[in-house]
């Protein structure tokens, strides 16, 4: 049972969060890559609701089940290319920034694949999913019922 029901959340809160998502959807960042990031960050934050959502969204965007199953161990497989690995390392570093120093190597590797504005947008996407994870955990939304909207 949720701590705060969907109906009790201020509409403005959802509008602000959705506006960020709308902005990010208009950037040059690849949608499938963003879903990979959202799924990985949700794994780190152990957000069941967001894991359910982003698993389904990633599959809908063309991601494979195998890659999603192995995402927590992405460093141990060749299923992810160097660009994706750079993004995943950056996503983890930014998500865990309070626990570990973000070193320049992570950023420098990322900058070989993305422009400064793309890195800014990617950073916002990581901040956004971390915010959603924390909101969903605070509200205790139930996982398992999310449906992809085409």
Burial track 87-108 (b if 16+ CB lie within 10 A, e otherwise)? bbbbbbbbbeeeeeeeeeebee
At residue 79's C-alpha, the angle toward residues 22 and 117, to 5°, is 35
> 């990031």: which residue's tokens?
37
Integer Cα distance of 62 and 69 in angstroms: 14
Q: Does domain 18-139 have CATH number 1.20.1290.10?
A: yes
Integer Cα distance of 12 and 18 in angstroms: 10
The DSSP letter of residue 45 is T
Sketch the domain layout of the chain as residue ranges. 18-139
The more confidently predicted of residues 22 and 4 is 22
CA atoms within 13 A on the CB side of 91: 28
pTM, rounded to two decimals: 0.94
Q: Which DSSP helix (H) or strand (E) runs through 131? A: helix 116-139
Integer Cα distance of 140 and 59 in angstroms: 24
pLDDT in tens, 5-54: 888 889 999 999 999 999 999 999 999 999 999 999 999 999 999 999 99
- pLDDT over 80 at 150, yes or no: no
Cβ neighbours of 17 (radius 10 Å): 15
pLDDT in tens, 65-115: 999 999 999 999 999 999 999 999 999 999 999 998 888 999 999 999 999
């Amino acid at each position: 049972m949720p701590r705060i029901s969907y109906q009790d959340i201020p509409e403005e809160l959802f509008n602000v969060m959705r506006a960020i998502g709308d902005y990010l959807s208009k950037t040059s960042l690849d949608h499938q890559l963003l879903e990979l990031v959202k799924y990985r960050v949700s794994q780190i934050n152990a957000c069941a609701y967001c894991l359910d959502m982003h698993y389904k969204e990633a599959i809908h965007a063309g991601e494979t089940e195998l890659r999603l199953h192995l995402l927590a161990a992405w460093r141990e497989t060749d299923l992810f290319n160097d660009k994706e690995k750079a993004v995943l390392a950056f996503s983890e570093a930014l998500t865990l920034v309070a626990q570990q120093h973000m070193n320049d190597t992570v950023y420098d590797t990322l900058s070989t694949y993305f422009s400064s504005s793309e890195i800014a947008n990617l950073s916002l996407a990581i901040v956004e999913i971390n915010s959603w994870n924390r909101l969903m955990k605070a509200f205790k939304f139930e996982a398992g019922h999310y449906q992809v909207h085409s």
